[in-house]
């Protein structure tokens, strides 16, 4: 199936249910939902209310109970100060705060999200910035562009390296040194602008939504792991979660943030 066909299927599955009519005895007709099979009055398919609105107003975060990571003052990279994450059946929501004094280049400021969607160490990799090298997916685009917050409509990449491996192996052929270009979205599964993510910022904070059904090939567990980084000139200056730099942990690596499905 082509990517276009897969995305079309996603949008169909995410749309509201359409009602069917089933005749009953005595000439009565009961309107039912083809998705859940329930009568119209009992159908709950359209009851979903998005917990977090991505608009740069962060008040709605007070109504949920997110997983939280804060910056260790003795970490190697300290530009990110807070990470919150909340997951429901449809979305992963993220909230980050950053040190404005450390994010001075805002012409194009890379921001990445790394995700262990299946909650398994038997898939994924990238041990460069976290102690658990198990991320199967990475989302990438700029949080700032031309000195203003972007809508963070990110590209989606998958891990192509060895399980538990390290290095920038987020494109097919990267192990063999194949060169990608803008013609193939730099090797991404989905290029920027697909609508898989959305972001909005205000002050020194930014919020993001990730539509789970558009993460191609993902098998989401009820518990996932999430890590984020922010860069200046393509070098990381903030990573969360993080840990103190010690003789035994010279890069200050910590496991990714554990995020449980809200029920």
- pLDDT for 125-161, tens place per residue? 999 999 999 999 999 999 999 999 999 999 999 999 9
The rounded distance, in Å, linking the Cα atoms of 249 and 239 is 15
- Residues whose CB is less than 8 angstroms from the CB of residue 143 and which lie 6 or more positions away in sequence, other chains included: 109, 110, 111, 149, 150, 152, 199, 201, 206, 230
Six-digit token string for 195? 């609508």
- Overall average pLDDT of the 24-34 stretch: 64
- Overall average pLDDT of the 230-244 stretch: 98
pTM of structure: 0.84
The confidence score (pLDDT) of residue 178 equals: 62
- Overall average pLDDT of the 68-79 stretch: 99
- Higher-confidence residue of 215 and 19: namely 215
Of 151, 185, 152, give the one whose Cα is nearest residue 171: 185
Do 135 and 256 form a contact (C-beta atoms < 8 A)?
yes
The confidence score (pLDDT) of residue 25 equals: 45
The rounded distance, in Å, linking the Cα atoms of 164 and 127 is 7
Candidate from 10-14, 230-234, 256-260 with smallest mean pLDDT: 10-14
Do 93 and 52 form a contact (C-beta atoms < 8 A)?
yes
Q: How far is CA 92 from CA 10, 86, 192, 199, in A?
A: 16, 6, 18, 12
The rounded distance, in Å, linking the Cα atoms of 49 and 90 is 10
The structural domains of the chain, ordered by start, are: 19-44 (no CATH), 58-260 (2.60.40)
The confidence score (pLDDT) of residue 244 equals: 99
* Ramachandran angles phi, psi of 67, nearest 5°: -75, 145
Beta bridge partners of 231: 236
pLDDT in tens, 153-185: 999 999 999 999 999 999 886 555 566 666 676
Q: How far is CA 74 from CA 77, 224, 246, in A?
A: 9, 26, 9
The confidence score (pLDDT) of residue 245 equals: 99
pLDDT in tens, 175-222: 555 666 666 767 799 999 999 999 999 999 999 999 999 999 999 999
Average model confidence (pLDDT) across the chain: 89
Q: How far is CA 38 from CA 12, 18, 20, 47, 197, in A?
A: 19, 12, 10, 14, 32
- Give the confidence band of 24 by pLDDT, cuts at 50, 70, 90: very low
Cα dihedral 133, 261, 63, 139 in deg (nearest 10): 40
The rounded distance, in Å, linking the Cα atoms of 137 and 119 is 12
């Amino acid at each position: 199936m082509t990517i276009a066909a897969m995305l079309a299927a996603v949008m169909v599955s995410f749309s509201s249910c359409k009602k069917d009519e089933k005749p009953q005895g005595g000439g009565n007709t009961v309107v039912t939902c083809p998705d859940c099979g329930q009568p119209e009055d009992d159908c709950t398919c359209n009851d979903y209310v998005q917990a977090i609105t991505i608009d740069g107003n962060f008040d709605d975060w007070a109504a949920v109970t997110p997983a939280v990571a804060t910056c260790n003052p003795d970490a190697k990279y300290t530009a990110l100060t807070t990470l919150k994450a909340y997951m429901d059946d449809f979305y992963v929501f993220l909230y980050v705060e950053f040190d404005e004094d450390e994010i001075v280049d805002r012409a194009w400021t890379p921001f990445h999200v790394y995700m262990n969607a299946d909650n398994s160490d038997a898939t994924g990799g990238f041990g460069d910035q976290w102690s658990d090298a198990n991320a199967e997916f990475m989302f990438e685009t700029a949080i700032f562009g031309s000195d203003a917050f972007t809508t963070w409509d990110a590209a989606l990449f998958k891990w192509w390296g060895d399980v538990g491996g390290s290095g920038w192996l987020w494109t097919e052929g990267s192990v063999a040194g194949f060169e990608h270009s803008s013609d193939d979205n730099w090797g991404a599964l989905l290029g920027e602008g697909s609508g898989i993510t959305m972001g909005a910022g205000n002050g020194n904070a930014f919020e993001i939504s990730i539509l789970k059904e558009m993460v191609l090939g993902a098998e989401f567990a009820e518990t996932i792991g999430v890590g984020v980084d922010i860069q200046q000139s393509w070098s990381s200056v903030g990573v969360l979660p993080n840990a103190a730099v010690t003789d035994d942990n010279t890069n200050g690596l910590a496991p990714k943030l554990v995020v449980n499905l809200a029920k």
